[in-house]
Amino acid sequence: MGVGDPPRILVTTFRGGKAEEYVDALRQAGAEPILVDPSTDPLPSLEGVHGLLVTGGADVDPALYGAPESPHITHVDRERDELEIALVRNARDAKLPTLCICRGLQVANVAFGGTLIADIPAALGDHAANRHEVRGDDGRAERGLIPGHVVRIEPGSTLPRSVRTLEVETGSRHHQAVDQCADDLRVVARTDDGIIEALEARFDSPFWLAVQWHPESTRALDGGESRRIFLSFVSAAQVCRTYKPVTR
């Protein structure tokens, strides 16, 4: 690769998925996305890539975090779970810049030993203070900003350096969330009802962020916070590309 080439970002998705919004967000930020899904064989090497993006999707299999089956979990993708867990762990070992979004946050937490809430409405009941998912008349989840879904960020974390604020009103479409945070991670943002909305790494990494909301869908709708998350991630990947060869 030449000096002026964009950093190459591995992007996970379901079998046959295109991950269009994520791909567009990365290209807009100056990266070259490379899709990987459970049909990719063997497990992709991290040699020659400069970042990992773990995207949204189906629920994580509760067996992977020692939980019983739940009536609130209607669809899992075990082969994708196993692929992404392996990649997240390998990326940690390689000190590869990593961004995890929605399901990606949940996968990363499980990969490092944490657990999940099977269903937010069932867990919170009358204590829910935010809408974590809104569906239209057609049954599809709302992809834009949700008024009142405010994420409050810890002042001492690194996330504010990307979004340049301590409060983000953003979009949300998840019914699961982090329960017990993995020891290798730390909670850096929540909504007012206590739902964990962002995690950062306790281990050494040039960039490691997991968010529960969907910055890929709100890049043109918020005050620039969504774009800045991708720009910060790609900037870290660019530094990795320029100064540090990545090996698996």
Q: What is the mean pLDDT of residues 177-204?
A: 96
Q: How confident is the model at residue 95 (pLDDT cuts 50, 70, 90)?
A: very high
| Assigned domain for 3 exists | no
- Per the residue annotation, which of 102, 169, 197, 225 is the catalytic one? 102
Closest CA to 241 of 211, 204, 202, 207: 207
The residues, ordered by sequence, that sit 6+ positions from 180 with a Cβ below 8 Å of its Cβ are 114, 115
| pLDDT of res. 247 | 45
pLDDT at 89 over 60: yes
pLDDT at 131 over 60: yes
| pLDDT of res. 246 | 44
| pLDDT of res. 248 | 42
SS3 call for 215:
helix
pLDDT for 48-77, tens place per residue? 999 999 999 999 999 999 999 898 898 899
The answer to whether residues 7 and 238 touch, using CB atoms and an 8 Å cutoff, is: yes
| Assigned domain for 219 exists | yes
| Assigned domain for 135 exists | no
Count CB-CB contacts under 10 A for residue 54: 29
d(CA 58, CA 115): 16
The overall average pLDDT reported for the chain is 91
d(CA 102, CA 86): 18
pLDDT for 203-226, tens place per residue? 999 999 999 999 999 999 999 999
- Per the residue annotation, which of 84, 214, 225, 240 is the catalytic one? 214
Higher pLDDT, 121 or 228: 228
SS3 call for 230:
helix
SS3 call for 135:
strand
CA dihedral 194, 166, 25, 206 (to 10 degrees): -90
pLDDT at 195 over 90: yes
Higher pLDDT, 131 or 81: 81
| Assigned domain for 73 exists | yes
| Assigned domain for 124 exists | no
- Evaluate if pTM is beyond 0.85: yes
| pLDDT of res. 127 | 62
Is 214 annotated as catalytic? yes
For the chain, give percent helix, strand, coil, nearest 5. Answer: 30, 20, 50
Q: What is the mean pLDDT of residues 37-52?
A: 90
- Structural domain of residue 151, as residue ranges? 8-118+143-243
In the sheet with 185-190, reading across from the earlier edge strand, the strands are 32-36, 8-12, 51-54, 98-101, 208-211, 196-201, 185-190, 150-153, 167-169
| pLDDT of res. 244 | 56
Higher pLDDT, 150 or 140: 150
* Identity of the residue numbered 169: E
Percent of the chain with pLDDT over 90: 74
Residue whose structure tokens are 């998840």: 174
The answer to whether residues 100 and 74 touch, using CB atoms and an 8 Å cutoff, is: no
- Per the residue annotation, which of 21, 84, 200, 216 is the catalytic one? 216
When mean pLDDT is compared across 42-56, 106-120, 139-153, the lowest value belongs to 139-153
Is 102 annotated as catalytic? yes
CATH number at residue 169: 3.40.50.880
| Assigned domain for 129 exists | no
| Assigned domain for 198 exists | yes
The answer to whether residues 162 and 228 touch, using CB atoms and an 8 Å cutoff, is: yes
| pLDDT of res. 106 | 97
Q: Domains in the chain: how many in total? A: 1
